[in-house]
Amino acid sequence: MLPVRRAPLVLAGVLAGVLAGVLAGACAASPLTFPRGKLVDLTHAFNDKTVYWPTSPSGFVRQVLAYGPTPAGFFYASGAFAAPEHGGTHLDAPIHFAAGKSTADAIALDRLAAPAVVVDISARAGADRDAALLPADLDGFERAHGRIEPGTIVLVRTGWAARWPDRKAYLGDDTPGDATHLHFPGIGADAARELVRRGVAAVGIDTASIDCGPSKDFLAHQVILGADVPAFENVAGLDRLPARGAFVVALPMKIEGGSGGPLRIVAWVP
């Protein structure tokens, strides 16, 4: 398993080696290699069942523009889509809750591609659907798995991804246009402050919000995004990652001035 600090350097070295091989014409002489491991998709597919916040004016809509043979004899497919910035597996850019902070197109890439840890609170969340990540959870993780280094992406696993895309099971309530009866786990304000103090690159969670469902003041959003730290919501597949050792790449749609956007997030697990 790669140490947290070395993972970016190792991957950068691999990519540099690949590029050097291509430039030198070495590809024809020998096959390219990549560190042993696997890629894990942490993204829910976007479709008509994608979960959006209850007050969103719409969900994900895809229109088929063309699908089939053309008069020229070849196959051609094309479509158009529309969606709110926040819903499905997506980015919360800091500007979402913090004036003057980074928009979706301006987030530094080293916040979107970095070593990751998974802090698992799924046992407590299974007993309390409003459970919050606490500073004690971070301290317990560090005792068991080592320090959460600055520049790390911290992913919070609650087990909620298993409920996707059942809106009532996932959100706690499926009343259209009403966000006052939501119940799902999130990140407590004190834990949010601890994450910022540790200098994390980004924070992700497998629920609809980094704040717990009943929250009305969204303190986790205010604290984390206020520190210019991006957040990833509705993340999938965290049960497939180790507590430490994965390298995450989370690339959102680059929407100029955007407060968020659809996200394709994957992890490389050595």
207-257 per-position pLDDT tens digit: 999 999 999 999 999 999 999 999 999 999 999 999 999 999 999 999 999
Residue 106 lies in a domain: yes
Please, what's the b/e burial string for 121-139 (b: 16 or more CB within 10 A of its CB; e: otherwise)? bbebbeeebebbbbeebbe
Do 113 and 247 fall into the same domain?
yes
Q: State mean pLDDT over 39-66.
A: 97
Q: State mean pLDDT over 69-89.
A: 98
Do 105 and 14 fall into the same domain?
no
Residue 123 lies in a domain: yes
Residue 13 lies in a domain: yes
Q: What is the CATH number of the domain that holds 226?
A: 3.50.30.50
Percent of the chain with pLDDT over 90: 87
What letter does residue 236 receive in the DSSP assignment? -
Do 27 and 129 fall into the same domain?
no
CA 267, CA 114: separation in Å to the nearest integer?
A: 10
Do 101 and 176 fall into the same domain?
yes
pLDDT confidence tier of residue 34, bands split at 50, 70 and 90: low
Q: How many CB atoms lie within 10 A of CB 153?
A: 27
Range of the domain at 159: 42-57+85-269
Q: Which of 18-32, 117-131, 164-178, 220-234 has the lowest mean pLDDT?
A: 18-32
Do 20 and 142 fall into the same domain?
no
CA 255, CA 218: separation in Å to the nearest integer?
A: 24
Say whether 96 is catalytic: yes
Q: Which of 44, 86, 96, 221 is catalytic?
A: 96
Do 113 and 225 fall into the same domain?
yes
The dihedral over CA atoms of 160, 166, 167, 168, expressed in degrees to the nearest 10, equals -90
Residue 79 lies in a domain: no
Q: Which amino acid is present at 83?
A: A
Distances (CA, A) of 101 to 59, 98, 249: 26, 6, 21
138-163 per-position pLDDT tens digit: 999 999 999 999 999 999 999 999 99
**Confidence at residue 35, expressed as pLDDT on a 0 to 100 scale:** 77
CA 150, CA 153: separation in Å to the nearest integer?
A: 9
Instruction: Using the Cα atoms of residue 213, residue 215, residue 220 and residue 221 in order, give the sign of their dihedral.
Output: positive
Domains contained in the chain, number: 2
Residue 169 lies in a domain: yes
Residue 156 lies in a domain: yes
